[in-house]
Structure 1
């Protein structure tokens, strides 16, 4: 498959790196230094040029492209690039935008602008945060099969009830499958005899209720359920979207915004959110507002340093969990190593969403696990799948050992797979695979 990526920033470089081993990838960027750096670091063809111009697109071979991805930090550049690509040829076009208003316009225009799929960074980030907020102890979570199945990655905390138990002993939920263990930067397939250890990252797949139940068992403190327990710091677009999505779930968060005009605007647009105008680094204010009693503090300011400071202040005061937006991907591990419970990188989330369009096979949804060490894929089974019409105990022998079927949906119902489970055409199967066998698994499924 020939893939053209416009933009060699964090999103574009991440997409290109993930595709370079199995696809022909061409990356275009106006910055010569970025182009040179990419040329020496990834096996792709990097071209210096303006992705909105026909001459550059023709140099990149747009007439032979299967997928065209516009992922610069400028919304208008991405939309114009996709439009130009459609004029020159007919690749599947993907545009990254930050502003949800552009996504709304695109949806209302019946997929206009020459864009086949639009990814909104701020909205995706807010959705990821809200999903994490609803799962105690989770560091990553994604829905599959229209919400009937959920994947979640949990860290085994200190003194967890499951520490020292085997997977078989910890698996006390009817609709849950343990699929992977991430330990010392290595991915292990979860077996019944695998012992869970403090500090492990465990990946589970199952019904939302069972995933929620397991998360609660790992971290017995209650899941946020009232307005006083969720605090958002920063009225950025991500902060606003998080509050709006929480309101849709019936929650009533508090939001702290220092700018008077922005705070007033947010108060008018968020009827169920208590908007407070203040400097969130003011310890006296934080103490007065009982931040120590919050189940979750979400740092959604526009600067990484400020989000780190707010998160650490909240944890110092006694907040149960701190979730921070981190604009620079290199800082994610640093944030989580110094005490931030979950660091959300918008560019990483965007790259993950775009990546699912580039897989061979029929993957309908994809989630990248723990810095791309593994993937969870959703596939609709057709007549050509090696799973179709066969019991899992028989068909799994034709897949790599590093692949686990986590859940199946049939007519909207979640089925937890067992050896004698027979997969039917039309079923949606959610599988966990180590990254080095993902392409082989996707092609076989």
Structure 2
């Protein structure tokens, strides 16, 4: 597939890195010559220096033959202008724009195929907010991804030494939870993925486990790896920018596991921004004016009783320092947003529980629109090192390599694994974990785990029916 990427920033370069390894023909455009040179030194792709709102620049980049254009610059106006030009002048079939101005949500026609001609719009703050809210809902998880409108979840947790499953084989999980549908799809030990997991694989303290289960049973499964979970009812947010505002709004609109309202506080150093936050948040959210590394402010506002501390300012150093301070003063759990990926590696091993890149959350949303075939969703894991995909199986036993076969008889590429199958029967969705050895039928939604993003194209080809099905 010929893909044209506009913007060689963090998101653009991450998208290029993910797609170039999948045998796509990638061209990336940016006004910054140094960024283009850097990305060309890292990946085998074409780079064009120029303003993508210029038709001649898009023409030089090959827009006339492009199957897809992805506009992910830091400027909403540029992104939307690009999608309009791509459709009007070059008839590019798929046009994706990243948009950060939340006000534009009120004018859907403006962004649609009747306005700026975008076929898909990515809202980065929404993607990041959803990412954090899931971590709040499941407080012991490192990553949470929902499938099929939330009926099935993929979670990752680290095993603690005192848990029920530590030192026991994978097969013992069914003994602990005989009535629960659960499937371990991957295990990472000391940063390396274990190959050929089976029922005899023994789990060790510190292992990072990726498992699929139903939403209703998720908390029960987590308890077998983590002993005791603590609710995240009391949340303190530092950084009252667009992301902090959206997160506070999201928590104000949902209930805790016990059905109570979240106790939310948000700290912002700019007084005028505090006034804006107060006007745009309900009275149940407490807006505080102060420095995000002010120890006395943290103590006065009950940091020792805070279940979750979340740092989402635009300054990586402030985010890291505020989280370290919060943990020192007694906050149970700390999550920080970090833009520089090399900082994330530095944070590992500190008291900060989770450090994540906004690019990773946005990338998962983008990949959902980019993947070929009947891909319902696609998500990056472990900072792009792995991926999980929800794909629809089509065809028959005659023209498909998966239809009519049980999961243990499907020749999956090395390093990939089917986690579960979702099937709608008489309007009711049924879930079949891979350990139940279900047969794949036409129309099934199959969740596939891939330990290497280079395997994505192989999985897509495996699930594609042979020519003649249509």
Alignment size in residue pairs: 441
TM-score (norm 1): 0.93
| Cα distance per residue 1:140-172 (max 9 Å; x no partner) | 111111211111122224544432222112343
Cross-structure match for 1:405: 418
1:441 matched to 2:447: no
SS of 1:138's equivalent in the other structure is coil
Whole-Å Cα distance in 1 between the matches of residues 218 and 108 of structure 2? 34
Taking a change above 3 Å as real, the CA distance of residues 416 and 340 of structure 1, as seen in their structure-2 partners, is same
Deviation, structure 1 residue 225: 5.3
Select the residue among 227, 238, 248 that pairs with 1:233: 238
Contact 1:148 1:409 (C-alpha < 8 Å) held by counterparts: no
Cross-structure match for 1:69: 70
Contact 1:181 1:188 (C-alpha < 8 Å) held by counterparts: yes
Whole-Å Cα distance in 2 between the matches of residues 337 and 443 of structure 1? 40
Whole-Å Cα distance in 2 between the matches of residues 54 and 165 of structure 1? 62
Whole-Å Cα distance in 1 between the matches of residues 350 and 147 of structure 2? 32
Whole-Å Cα distance in 2 between the matches of residues 420 and 121 of structure 1? 38
Cross-structure match for 1:324: 336
Cross-structure match for 1:387: 402
Taking a change above 3 Å as real, the CA distance of residues 415 and 247 of structure 1, as seen in their structure-2 partners, is farther
Cross-structure match for 2:303: 291
Taking a change above 3 Å as real, the CA distance of residues 106 and 346 of structure 1, as seen in their structure-2 partners, is farther
Deviation, structure 1 residue 297: 0.5
Q: 1:221-370, aligned counterparts within 5 Å?
A: 221-224=228-231, 226=233, 229-250=234-255, 251-252=261-262, 253-271=264-282, 272-370=284-382
Select the residue among 178, 195, 198 that pairs with 2:205: 198
Deviation, structure 1 residue 96: 1.2
Whole-Å Cα distance in 2 between the matches of residues 316 and 225 of structure 1? 18
Cross-structure match for 1:11: 11
Cross-structure match for 1:129: 132
Deviation, structure 1 residue 417: 3.1
Deviation, structure 1 residue 419: 4.9
1:423 matched to 2:440: yes
Whole-Å Cα distance in 1 between the matches of residues 88 and 402 of structure 2? 40
Deviation, structure 1 residue 431: 1.3
Cross-structure match for 2:186: 180
| Cα distance per residue 1:388-433 (max 9 Å; x no partner) | 2332233x2x222422221222223333233541222222111112
Taking a change above 3 Å as real, the CA distance of residues 17 and 167 of structure 1, as seen in their structure-2 partners, is same
Contact 1:403 1:433 (C-alpha < 8 Å) held by counterparts: yes
| Cα distance per residue 1:96-142 (max 9 Å; x no partner) | 12232234433675453111111111111111011111112222111
Taking a change above 3 Å as real, the CA distance of residues 110 and 85 of structure 1, as seen in their structure-2 partners, is closer
Q: Could you say what the CA RMSD is over the residues aligned between the two structures, in angstroms?
A: 2.0
Whole-Å Cα distance in 2 between the matches of residues 7 and 135 of structure 1? 34
TM-score (norm 2): 0.88
Contact 1:95 1:115 (C-alpha < 8 Å) held by counterparts: yes
Whole-Å Cα distance in 1 between the matches of residues 400 and 235 of structure 2? 45
| Cα distance per residue 1:346-400 (max 9 Å; x no partner) | 1222123212333343222111111222211101121154332332233x2x222
SS of 2:107's equivalent in the other structure is helix
Cross-structure match for 1:165: 168
Deviation, structure 1 residue 328: 1.9
Q: Give unpaired runs (5+ residues) of structure 2.
A: 256-260, 464-470
Cross-structure match for 1:139: 142
